[in-house]
Amino acid sequence: MNKYESVIIVKPTVDDEHLKELEKTFTDIINKAGKFEKVDEMGKRKLAYEIKKNTEGIYVVFYFEAEPTLIEELERNYRINDNVIKFIDVRVEE
């Protein structure tokens, strides 16, 4: 299994309750085929450029271990979720 960091930018209009639901949804997906380590909420930040008519976004980072096939499923779920405006998955070298 490889170590990964997954950074998502969530719409700034999402409240804390819905943000926790999003985190739970994605951690459940990670736990099905990998090993979730932690989540880091970095808070609302100004974006370098406008994304889908948003100038701010809430940054959330997931740290986990998984097989490469999980990344495909995770990214598919990011794409179909309307609250996620941008994401990136990075394999971490040990």
Residue 68 is predicted with a pLDDT of 87
Domain boundaries, the chain: 2-92
pLDDT 10s per residue in the chain (94 long)?
Answer: 889 999 999 999 998 899 999 999 999 999 988 899 999 999 899 999 999 899 999 999 999 999 888 999 999 999 999 999 999 999 998 7
Residue 20 is predicted with a pLDDT of 93
Radius of gyration of the chain (CA): 13
Short-list 82, 93, 27, 34, CA closest to 60: 27
E-strand ranges in 1-94 read 2-10, 34-51, 54-66, 84-92
For 2-92, CATH number out of 3.30.565.10, 3.10.129.10, 3.40.50.1110, 3.30.70.60 equals: 3.30.70.60
Residue 94 is predicted with a pLDDT of 72
pTM for this structure? 0.89
Q: What is the DSSP letter of 93?
A: P
Percentage, residues of the chain above pLDDT 70:
100
Cβ within 8 Å of residue 88, ≥6 positions away: 6, 7
Residue 12 is predicted with a pLDDT of 92
Q: What is the DSSP letter of 67?
A: -
